[in-house]
Amino acid sequence: MAALIDGARIAAGIRARVAEEAARLAGQGVVPGLAVILVGEDPASAIYVRSKVRHTRAAGLASFEYALPDTLAQDALLALVQRLNADDRVDGILVQLPLPAHIDADRVLDAIDPRKDVDGFHPVNVGRLSTGTGGLTPCTPLGCMKLLDTVIEDYRGLQAVVIGKSNIVGKPVAMLLLERECTVTVTHIATRNLPDIVRAADILVVAAGAPQLVRGDWVKPGAVVIDVGINRVDGAEGRRIVGDVAFDEMGHAAAVSPVPGGVGPMTIACLLENTLRAARRRAGRGA
Ligand code: GUN
């Protein structure tokens, strides 16, 4: 039987450590603050943002929330970002994606002060990740690595396959795996012979956004499987959430992260950690 990688438990541990450290900083007069901006009514985004705000407060960080209508002008959003860049109470700025079509997301992300870019999406942080020179690292990829770290000691030379080439997950997680000296293959929508490529993987990270795409016979015995997918599907028992991996077919893997309860909670835990890191740096108290 594959070991279950319990993201909910691991994330709770990270949040507890963040809360402890935040309390210590608060004792020194530094209360880390996170600003979250949601534009429009996307229901999934609204759920994620609510959860981010709840955990931010629970960890003792200051939370600044902006829920704005989808008619918001791009210039107004850029002006808000500039205001938050200049606000000393704010250590982290997160603009929830996707943004409405009339707003150029790249322009908005470019406007965030890279030191406050707790999502790690600013080109400066993307560049730092690809050169392995620090900066803030995107939360979901960081969460994937922390899950992998619980079951893998030595990454050197392992074959890692990442399914999905998004800027939010696929590309940055590939960079992190490369930094550990895995041999990394990134697959995407135009990839041919996907099952054969996946069969070579010692580490498989799946961020395709396709319900139960990866079947049991694609996965090598002993592989470690991280499922980043969150898909709402209608079944006999009503609506349920499934990942990008056919979880019930993964018995021969060494370890697998479930959906829900795998990567999801890690993303928020890493967001809090990034906010703390940004606060420590801005206060001159950390690396
Ligand atoms: N939308 C989906 N994932 C993310 C994320 O990690 N950060 C932001 N800002 N938006 C997202």
Q: For 202-230, what is each residue's pLDDT tens digit?
A: 999 999 999 999 999 999 999 999 999 99
| Residues within a 6 A CB radius of ligand 1 | 94-97, 119, 139-140, 168, 267
Q: Ligand 1: which of 36, 47, 48 to mutate, most ligand atoms within 8 Å of CB?
A: 48
Long-range contacts of 49-54 (CB under 8 A, 24+ apart): 49/96, 51/268, 52/94, 52/268, 52/271
What are the φ/ψ torsions at residue 253 (nearest 5 degrees)? -70, 160
Residues 90, 99: Cα–Cα separation, whole Å = 21
Predicted model pTM: 0.97
> Which pLDDT belongs to residue 287?
63
Residues 160, 153: Cα–Cα separation, whole Å = 14
Residues of the chain with pLDDT below 70 are 287
- Nearest residue to 69 via CA among 104, 28, 102: 102
What are the structure tokens assigned to 147, written together? 């899950």
Kindly tell me the number of DSSP H helices and DSSP E strands found in the chain.
9, 11
- Index of the ligand 1 atom closest to the CA of residue 139: 6
Nearest residue by C-alpha to atom 2 in ligand 1: 97
Nearest residue by C-alpha to atom 11 in ligand 1: 97
The DSSP annotation for 171-212 comes to HHHHHHHHHTT-EEEEE-TT-SSHHHHHHT-SEEEE----TT
Residue indicated by tokens 């001159």? 284
C-beta of residue 122 within 8 angstroms of C-beta of residue 110 = yes
Q: Ligand 1: which of 118, 168, 272 to mutate, most ligand atoms within 8 Å of CB?
A: 168
CA–centroid distance, residue 197 to ligand 1 (Å)? 28
Nearest residue by C-alpha to atom 9 in ligand 1: 96
Distances (CA, A) of 21 to 16, 28, 62, 102, 114: 9, 11, 14, 40, 23
Which helix (H) or strand (E) segment holds residue 234: the answer is strand 231-235
The DSSP annotation for 114-148 comes to GGG-TT--SHHHHHHHHHT--S---HHHHHHHHHH
Q: At what angle do helices 263-282 and 7-27 cross, to 10 degrees?
A: 20
Which helix (H) or strand (E) segment holds residue 12: the answer is helix 7-27
CA–centroid distance, residue 95 to ligand 1 (Å)? 8
> Which pLDDT belongs to residue 235?
86
**Residues designated catalytic:** 52, 96, 119
CA–centroid distance, residue 140 to ligand 1 (Å)? 8
CA–centroid distance, residue 49 to ligand 1 (Å)? 9
Which helix (H) or strand (E) segment holds residue 38: the answer is strand 33-39
Q: At what angle do helices 7-27 and 43-58 cross, to 10 degrees?
A: 50
Residues 151, 159: Cα–Cα separation, whole Å = 15
Instruction: Count Cβ neighbours within 10 Å for each residue of 104-119 and write b for 16 or more, e otherwise.
Output: ebeebbbbbbbbbbbb
